[in-house]
């Protein structure tokens, strides 16, 4: 395909020349196994196959062959991009799959007429799909995208501050370094805790002279039953203050000194049966008062 261009000089007559585009090849080289193609050869073959793909009608058998061959030849780009994210704990297989989606999008959207290297378009597409995969699927707790992206900025800022001698930078330090509001930084730090989770049944990983053994669940705090008892005692105090001296004495001897009803009867000159009825009445009264308060 050719197009005409016209140039007008200051003192010369108008001249016309023709610039011809590179024609799409009609016969493609035979590729027996794309895995054995050197990277330099793959780049040159990619140009040839992209030109042919642009000239073919979508949906034809040859179109599918050319497109599939382009995908197979450029899987090295996907593996290259996936290596940048290899330290994030996800399987390489998952990253290769989502990266291949980015490669396919780049092939389908590549415009040969622009004359841009295919890798210039393909690599950002591949990396974009992998980043989207991490953003949408790897967070254990869903948080807004804004806070997800701030996690990376905070990690970089923490590393820079630690390099300046500030160990364990505070939210205020990070906010000043990033020129952000401290409340927003605090929110992002809290949200970052939702990036990953782990089983409480995993072994403890400890280092140092005093190494711990066992499971994480063994060192996680649990509710102390004594806390509920302490709350009940505090709630009971005003109701105890309303009792007369004899009733408070009965309770103190029974539950404080842990005396039996017979021993209390001898102490106060009452029968054991009378002491039992009095304690039952007092406890019933206090229980009703507590329930009414709740």
Residue 245, CA distances (Å) to 207, 215, 253, 279 in order: 60, 53, 12, 13
Tokens coding 41: 């050869």
**Given this model, what pLDDT does residue 67 score?**
93
pLDDT, tens only, 32-60: 777 778 888 888 899 999 999 999 898 89
Q: Model pTM?
A: 0.45
Residue owning tokens 């701030």: 150
Instruction: Take residue 115 and report the two structure tokens written for it.
Output: 């004359």
Query: Is the model's pLDDT at 214 over the cut of 80?
Result: no
Identify the CA nearest to 186 among candidates 170, 207, 202: 170
Inform me whether the pLDDT recorded for 7 exceeds 50.
Answer: no
- The pLDDT tens digits for 58-99 are 889 999 999 999 999 999 999 988 888 776 555 678 888 989
Neighbours of 134 (CB within 10 A): 17
Q: Does residue 5 surpass a pLDDT of 60?
A: no
Q: Can you read off the two tokens belonging to residue 5?
A: 């261009």
Residue 81: closest CA among 92, 68, 69: 92
- For the chain, what percent of residues have pLDDT higher than 90? 19
- Give the mean model confidence (pLDDT) for residues 151-160: 83
Map tokens 């610039």 to a residue. Answer: 19
Determine the pLDDT at residue 144. Answer: 67
Q: Are 188 and 151 a contacting pair, CB within 8 Å? A: yes
Q: Would you state the pLDDT for residue 106?
A: 93
d(CA 184, CA 190): 10
The percent of residues above 70 in pLDDT, for the chain, comes to 73
Mean pLDDT score of the chain? 78
Per-residue pLDDT tens over the stretch 257-282: 889 999 988 888 889 999 899 999 99
In degrees rounded to 5, what are phi and psi of residue 286? -65, -40
């Amino acid at each position: 395909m050719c197009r005409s261009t016209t140039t007008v000089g200051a003192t010369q007559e108008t001249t016309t020349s023709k610039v011809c585009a590179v024609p799409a090849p009609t016969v493609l080289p035979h590729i027996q196994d794309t895995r054995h193609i050197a990277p330099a050869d793959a780049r040159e073959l990619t140009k040839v196959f992209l030109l042919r793909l642009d000239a073919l009608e979508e949906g034809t058998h040859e179109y599918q062959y050319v497109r599939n061959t382009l995908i197979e030849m450029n899987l090295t780009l996907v593996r290259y991009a996936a290596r940048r994210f290899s330290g994030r704990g996800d399987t390489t297989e998952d990253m290769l799959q989502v990266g291949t989606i980015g490669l396919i999008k780049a092939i389908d959207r590549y415009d040969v007429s622009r004359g841009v290297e295919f890798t210039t378009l393909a690599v950002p597409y591949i990396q974009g799909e992998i980043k989207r995969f991490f953003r949408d699927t790897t967070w254990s707790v869903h948080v807004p995208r804004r806070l997800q992206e701030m996690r990376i900025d905070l990690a970089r800022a923490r590393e820079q501050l630690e390099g300046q001698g500030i160990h364990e930078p505070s939210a205020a330090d990070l906010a000043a370094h990033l020129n952000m509001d401290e409340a927003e930084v605090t929110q992002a730090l809290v949200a970052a805790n939702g990036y990953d989770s782990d089983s409480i049944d995993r072994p403890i990983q400890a280092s140092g002279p005093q190494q711990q053994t066992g499971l994480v669940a063994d060192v996680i705090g649990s509710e102390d039953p004594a806390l509920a008892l302490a709350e009940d005692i505090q709630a009971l105090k005003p109701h105890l203050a309303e009792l007369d001296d004899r009733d408070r004495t009965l309770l103190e001897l029974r539950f404080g000194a842990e005396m039996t009803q017979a021993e209390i009867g001898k102490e106060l000159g009452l029968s054991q049966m009378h002491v039992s009825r009095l304690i039952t009445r007092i406890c019933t009264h206090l229980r009703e008062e507590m329930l009414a308060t709740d």
